[in-house]
Structure 1
Amino acid sequence: MEEKIKFQLGFTEFRRARGGGGGGCINEGDAYETDRGKVFVKRNSKKDAKLMFDGELEGLKAIEATGTLRVPHPIAVFDDPNMGTDLARLHVSNQKNIQKAKKEESKVGEKQEDAHQQAIEKFGFDTPTCCGYIPIDNSWGEDWPQFFARNRLEYQIKLIKESNGDRELMELWSILQLKIPVYFPKELGIVPSLLHGDLWSGNAAEIDSTPVAFDPAAFYGHHEFDLAIAGMFGGFNSQFYNAYHEIIPKAKGFPKRHKLYLLFHHLNHWNHFGSGYRSSTLGIMRELVN
């Protein structure tokens, strides 16, 4: 967003002022030093925020034009491309394809070939992908809890067992694997979403004010999985999550499933970087089984 403001308004200098942050009950804000003096930028990720800011802009212009009450000089209102919005749209794209395919099927009595190719109704991927350097099994499955337990958690635990073994890990896994279906009630209605698979701030950037994600470990899975690793290392700001959940609201039981998905990444890091991740991994497992 900062680069976009600098480019759109033609600033040659644009840096955050020291001690210039702040906000009220509704918006966030920051002050910036520019080659043309100080500016204050207000932000809000709610879906109707632009309407609010457009009204404020015109109101400030009208008051300023009277030459009576002094007000801040309004400059512009910008939309900020948000990776949270883009990610949510990615996650619902396959659901739309499925709905389209079913609609076509009901019209003509059989699935249209192009719709069938685009609508993915299973979990997995056509080829193995890697999260780090470890290949992950993307063999297609129809049941998400079973797929996640077998193709994600069990595989990582098997690698740890083969490398050095860990009795407590195996004991906790014997309990946890029986509890996994409890976290996925039928009313959750999980539809396969195309996932990035390894989305954290280190695998995201911005080019020409547009969010960009790279280094995926893509597969079709439950959309909540993509929100896990960001909290492990470099998370995203509140705007990201607000924008995401405007499109895909949190479902009941989200915190427990979030822990379960986070467990995969801790296991994966244990396999990549050693037993320094043992304590955090077992800690998550204890929370989940208790």
Structure 2
Amino acid sequence: MQLAAAHLWLRDNDLGTVVQATRLGGGDICATWYIETDLQQRFCLKVLETAPADMFHSEAASLEAIHNTGTLPAPVVFEAQAQFLAMEYIAAGTPAGDYWQQLGRGLGLMHRQPAPHFGFGSDNYCGTTPQPNPRCDCGFDFFAEQRLLYQARLAQRRGLLSSGDCQGIEQLAARLPELVPEQPPSLVHGDLWSGNIHINSAGAPVLIDPAAHWGWAETDIAMTRLFGGFAEDFYRAYLAVNPLAPGWEQRLPLYNLYHLLNHLNLFGRSYYGQVRSVLAAFQ
């Protein structure tokens, strides 16, 4: 039943009949499948029957934006519909000896490419939480309104934050210009933890599951530290290509408040303590 829409797409586009469907690992929200047809067509399908109608279309736009930079690879998208995303299948491998250097250098080069403004061509999702991306010329306003305060207000409506908690986040958002240096907009992955980086058969990194937008480059680096951090070779290679302003490591928890609030909204109160810890650290 979960693959019914994909079966129809394959049939209607003369791509064959499914002869193998294997559930792949990973994914807290969506199911991922390897599909092979009798015409030797192979795909990776990301499926969620309850997905918002535009979720996979917006993810396709994120993947295309990353792919078009020519820096780090991302899967080619063949079809996006309400319930599934069909992409090229990229066989998995083990990390090459210079895997972390490839990832750091590639991300640094991606972040160095000019972006027109903060925001993106369309709104998208981080997980299944809407992620607004209106055009904005000020990074402080964008991160305050469209990241921190959007998530905080959503959490308050759901009973996950008190009015006092929201007031604390509003006060922190107002202080962004004194806590964060001026930064130009960059194309960022938007959800860059280790589970959203695939390793191909050559041992090279491939970016998957993005929530891409034009934002602060440091926010991507922050997300790499949220669940344990990447190898030091990654950070050395990144900084050699795209140096960050002094004090960047101290700013990372501030950026990760966005993702902690999103996890609070997605998964519940178990993330509340981490939200409070970040607020206390920046009082």
User: Which TM class, normalised by the smaller chain length?
Assistant: 0.5 to 0.7
CA distance in 2, matches of 1:91, 1:273: 30
CA distance in 1, matches of 2:254, 2:226: 13
Q: 1:91 aligns with which of 88, 104, 111?
A: 111
Structure 1: which amino acid aligns with 2:135? Answer: W
Counterpart position of 1:137: 132
Counterpart position of 1:169: 165
CA distance in 2, matches of 1:259, 1:161: 21
Question: For residues 111-126 of structure 1, what are the structure 2 equivalents within 5 Å?
Answer: 120-126=115-121
Question: TM-score, normalization: structure 1?
Answer: 0.60
**Structure 1 residues 55-97: Cα deviation after superposition (integer angstroms, max 9, x where no partner):** xxxxxxxxxxxxxxxxxxxxxxx76562011100110122xxx
CA distance in 2, matches of 1:218, 1:174: 24
**Structure 1 residues 182-223: Cα deviation after superposition (integer angstroms, max 9, x where no partner):** 1234xx4x2211111101110112211221110000000111
CA distance in 2, matches of 1:86, 1:206: 14
Cα gap change, 1:171 to 1:192, in 2 (>3 Å): closer
Deviation at residue 255 of structure 1 after TM alignment: 3.0
Structure 2: which amino acid aligns with 1:166? Answer: S
Q: Secondary structure at the match of 2:270?
A: helix
CA distance in 2, matches of 1:87, 1:168: 37
Work out whether residues 203 and 213 of structure 1, in 8 Å CA contact, stay in contact via their aligned partners in 2: yes
CA distance in 2, matches of 1:127, 1:256: 31
Work out whether residues 202 and 234 of structure 1, in 8 Å CA contact, stay in contact via their aligned partners in 2: no
Question: For residues 35-74 of structure 1, what are the structure 2 equivalents within 5 Å?
Answer: none
Work out whether residues 149 and 170 of structure 2, in 8 Å CA contact, stay in contact via their aligned partners in 1: no
Counterpart position of 2:186: 193
1:82 aligns with 2:102: yes
CA distance in 1, matches of 2:266, 2:225: 19
Query: Which 4+ residue blocks in structure 1 deviate beyond 3 angstroms?
Result: 78-81
Counterpart position of 2:262: 268
Deviation at residue 234 of structure 1 after TM alignment: 4.6
CA distance in 1, matches of 2:229, 2:249: 16
Work out whether residues 149 and 177 of structure 1, in 8 Å CA contact, stay in contact via their aligned partners in 2: yes
CA distance in 2, matches of 1:235, 1:204: 13
Q: 2:281 aligns with which of 272, 282, 287?
A: 287
Counterpart position of 2:72: none
Counterpart position of 2:218: 224
Structure 1, 251-260 or 151-160: larger mean CA deviation: 251-260
Q: Secondary structure at the match of 2:190?
A: coil
Alpha-carbon RMSD across the aligned residues, in angstroms, is 1.6
Work out whether residues 183 and 256 of structure 1, in 8 Å CA contact, stay in contact via their aligned partners in 2: no
CA distance in 1, matches of 2:129, 2:248: 27
Q: Larger helix proportion, structure 1 or 2?
A: 1
Q: Secondary structure at the match of 2:246?
A: coil
CA distance in 2, matches of 1:235, 1:132: 20
Work out whether residues 112 and 186 of structure 2, in 8 Å CA contact, stay in contact via their aligned partners in 1: yes
Question: For residues 203-242 of structure 1, what are the structure 2 equivalents within 5 Å?
Answer: 203-207=196-200, 208-242=202-236
Question: For residues 94-109 of structure 1, what are the structure 2 equivalents within 5 Å?
Answer: 94=114
**Structure 1 residues 270-290: Cα deviation after superposition (integer angstroms, max 9, x where no partner):** 00011111111011011112x
CA distance in 1, matches of 2:167, 2:144: 15
Identity score, percent = 36
Task: List alignment gaps of at least 5 residues for structure 1.
Answer: 1-77, 95-119
Q: Secondary structure at the match of 2:113?
A: helix
Deviation at residue 257 of structure 1 after TM alignment: 2.6
Q: Secondary structure at the match of 2:282?
A: helix
Structure 1, 165-174 or 209-218: larger mean CA deviation: 165-174
